[in-house]
Structure 1
Amino acid sequence: MKRKIFAELLKWKQQEMGRTALLIEGARRVGKSYIVEAFAKAEYKSYIVIDFNRSSEEVMDLFVHYLNDLDTFFLYLSNLYNVKLYERETLIILDEVQLFPRARAALKYLVADGRYDYIETGSLMSIKKHVQDIVIPSEERHLTMHPLDFEEFLWALGNETLMDFIRTCFHDRKPLGQALHRKAMDFFRQYLIVGGMPQAVETYVNTRDFNSVDRVKRDILTLYRGDIVKHAQGYEMKVEQIFDDIPAQLQKHDRKFKWASLSKEARLREYEDALFWLSDAMIASICYNSSSPTVGLRLNMDRMTFKCYMADTGLLVSHAFDENGIVSEEIYQKILFDKLAVNLGMIVENIVAQMLVASGHKLYFYSNSSRDDALSRMEIDFLIAKSKVSNKHNISPIEVKSSKNYTLMSLQKFRAKFAQQLHTPYVLHTSDFRQEDGITYLPLYMTPLL
């Protein structure tokens, strides 16, 4: 499948010319190994994939005993993999490098040698046991890989033109028109159901069968549970508790994470490591309350008040509707035809969070539950800052609406209270583009363009 990160890999190769190694991080099953090998086949004369999930003792011993003799290191490596190495024309891939941290540390010497290019792939890269006892090489550049975004999903379905037209309409500030808006929303609802995990998308492309897609997604959820047991040692039960509770927390009206739902005595300090583990594993995305939405959203981040989204909305759907072990075709059909009476709000808000993260945004929202001042009591789903900061008008509030009937009370309060910092207020909804009374109403599929 065509992925945008391929262009980033090409840019790294052309600009760095072997001066740095590239580390691609991402959740399990997000397509890291696939895209790196596709890049190697297309852009290099030869390549070696060292998969530390199944590499031999002989290969791992090279990183222990031969870093002071790189001629011998490469001689053995070439023969062990039966691949001829070409100076400046060979890529060496360290796959699942978190499983053997010494190989990551060795990049300091391999990059300095300068003969070949190096790309690492990994997940759970910042987990303590994967970095202890090694010096992380300064020669390492980082890229994060996310699930397929909406445009990549369209490409997978064979549609190369629709997102370009959507992009043109966004920049020209005009609607798509009834027929094309309906077509875009049909695709978007499919994306909402399937999500962006490559295996799920591939299964959907080949079968158009939601039950088959759901089985793939449940396999991925099972894999994640296995990772929790294996890698979150010491607090795996707490990680599982949070993981299992994400749909229930998002189902609530204000979506904020409540520790009391885990246990009456639960506190952040007891569960903080577990929460950060899910975030580091890129299974979940944390959205923090910015208590004063001014220039620096991060400067006013309230770590005690947050929302927890699934990194992939397709996985959330399978995670949330699991009463019979598999999401029934009927539930999928109701989402597809916009007939699901409950739960749709949390699914739509989750897909917006997913699209914002994929576009490079950190997640923030605004919440003030004042009992004394009704004008200050409000909740805004998301906040984003302008790319170029100025003295005023830097923050755009975003309200997400999953139905056609809604009010904008909180958004109007926000506009009045924070007029000096207000940039463009957005409403993301299921209807076409329009601008009215100083508010920009965007169809949900335009979210990646913010």
Structure 2
Amino acid sequence: MPQAVADYVEHRDFGEVDSIKRGILQLYSDDIGKFANGDAGHVRGIFAQIPGQLSKHEKRFTLASVDKGARSREYDSAFFWLEDARLVNLCRNSTDPLVGLGLYEDNDSFKCYMADTGLLVSQAFADRETTPDDVYRDILFDKLSLNEGMLVENAVAQQFRANGRKLYFFSRSDRTDASKTMEIDFLIVREYDNAAMKPRISPIEVKSTKRYGVSSLDKFRKRYAQRLGEEYVLHPRQLEVNGERIKLPLYMAHCL
């Protein structure tokens, strides 16, 4: 948020920044009450659950977290309202990774990111009057005990949406065959040099730590090799190129 950034540049005070962000979140809540009409309750319920849902390993949004008896069709308009208001970025599961990713959307399987990662930090501590200063310092010095993967993946989603990309991921589970169980954080379509610049799928994994595995990426390449171009790992390290696998610093997500 520009106001929060400008204040930090001038005062270097995390407390003031957090106060500004919480004020913005309150304005969001007020606007939901004014403009979401009959969906206000559902919209507020979804918005409040975003940090908890993103802190899970799979990060997919589960309506039962809002209401145990919830049905997806009852909440469709609430998600549409949040996305249309640009408060969230929805990432949908594309069940068959072909160039037309939108043709294979599973509307019941999606992740719900906040449109602003800075606000996500404050929203994660909504039950406290302020977000502790040490949380912000730990983010700066890479010592965060909070689920850092939640923030990093949200920031990547924010960069992709700023570039105009619609968000897709891939998830498949098979209890009888582990080789078919995989989850890819993001899928994008890019022109591929080795296919005469024809579009190909590029799978993207996001890593928040310097030590990590890429088993899902390996399985995905093995199963769908003919459909793929370059594959990317966004990580807190420098650029590495190993054949079709390109590892980029997290801040370079906007280049994709």
What TM-score comes out, normalization by structure 1 length? 0.55
2:88–2:113 Cα contact (<8 Å) kept: yes
CA distance in 1, matches of 2:22, 2:31: 14
The residue number in structure 2 matching 1:29 is: none
CA distance in 1, matches of 2:225, 2:191: 19
2:230–2:246 Cα contact (<8 Å) kept: yes
Counterpart of 1:208 in structure 2: which amino acid? Answer: R
Q: Tell me, yes or no, if structure 1 residue 226 matches structure 2 residue 64.
A: no
CA 1:297–1:324: 2 relative to 1, 3 Å: same
Choose which of 202, 218, 222 in structure 2 pairs with 1:396. Answer: 202
1:259-283 superposed Cα distances (whole Å, 9 cap, x missing partner): 1112221121011111111101100
CA distance in 2, matches of 1:391, 1:414: 21
Choose which of 33, 41, 56 in structure 2 pairs with 1:237. Answer: 41
2:191–2:197 Cα contact (<8 Å) kept: no
The residue number in structure 2 matching 1:351 is: 155
The DSSP-based 3-state class of the residue aligned with 2:53 is: helix
The DSSP-based 3-state class of the residue aligned with 1:418 is: helix
The residue number in structure 2 matching 1:422 is: 228
The residue number in structure 2 matching 1:332 is: 136
Q: Tell me, yes or no, if structure 1 residue 375 matches structure 2 residue 152.
A: no
Counterpart of 2:55 in structure 1: which amino acid? Answer: Q
Q: Tell me, yes or no, if structure 1 residue 290 matches structure 2 residue 94.
A: yes
CA distance in 2, matches of 1:390, 1:242: 44
Q: Tell me, yes or no, if structure 1 residue 442 matches structure 2 residue 248.
A: yes
1:12-54 superposed Cα distances (whole Å, 9 cap, x missing partner): xxxxxxxxxxxxxxxxxxxxxxxxxxxxxxxxxxxxxxxxxxx
Counterpart of 1:315 in structure 2: which amino acid? Answer: L
- TM-fit CA distance, 1:343: 1.3
- TM-fit CA distance, 1:304: 1.0
1:393–1:420 Cα contact (<8 Å) kept: no
Choose which of 112, 116, 139 in structure 2 pairs with 1:308. Answer: 112
CA distance in 2, matches of 1:398, 1:432: 16
CA 1:393–1:376: 2 relative to 1, 3 Å: farther
- TM-fit CA distance, 1:298: 0.8
- TM-fit CA distance, 1:429: 0.3
The DSSP-based 3-state class of the residue aligned with 1:426 is: strand
2:191–2:199 Cα contact (<8 Å) kept: no
In the alignment of these two chains, the number of paired residues is 254
Counterpart of 1:256 in structure 2: which amino acid? Answer: R
1:321-358 superposed Cα distances (whole Å, 9 cap, x missing partner): 23422111111111111111231000000000000011
2:191–2:198 Cα contact (<8 Å) kept: no
The residue number in structure 2 matching 1:272 is: 76
CA distance in 2, matches of 1:199, 1:340: 24
The residue number in structure 2 matching 1:77 is: none
| Identical-pair percentage | 53
Residues 202-217 of structure 1: pairs in structure 2 closer than 5 A: 202-217=6-21
The residue number in structure 2 matching 1:199 is: 3
The DSSP-based 3-state class of the residue aligned with 1:308 is: strand
The DSSP-based 3-state class of the residue aligned with 1:435 is: strand
Q: Tell me, yes or no, if structure 1 residue 319 matches structure 2 residue 132.
A: no
Counterpart of 1:360 in structure 2: which amino acid? Answer: G
The DSSP-based 3-state class of the residue aligned with 2:45 is: helix
What TM-score comes out, normalization by structure 2 length? 0.95
Unmatched 5+ residue regions in structure 1? Answer: 1-196
The residue number in structure 2 matching 1:360 is: 164
CA distance in 2, matches of 1:416, 1:229: 49
- TM-fit CA distance, 1:373: 2.5
CA distance in 1, matches of 2:196, 2:164: 20
CA distance in 2, matches of 1:203, 1:391: 45
Residues 27-46 of structure 1: pairs in structure 2 closer than 5 A: none
Counterpart of 1:447 in structure 2: which amino acid? Answer: A
1:295–1:394 Cα contact (<8 Å) kept: yes
Counterpart of 2:235 in structure 1: which amino acid? Answer: H
CA distance in 2, matches of 1:346, 1:280: 23
The residue number in structure 2 matching 1:431 is: 237
Instruction: Give the root-mean-square deviation of aligned CA atoms.
Output: 1.6
CA distance in 2, matches of 1:235, 1:311: 20
Counterpart of 2:12 in structure 1: which amino acid? Answer: R
- TM-fit CA distance, 1:295: 1.2
1:307-330 superposed Cα distances (whole Å, 9 cap, x missing partner): 000000000011012342211111
2:229–2:244 Cα contact (<8 Å) kept: no
The residue number in structure 2 matching 1:6 is: none
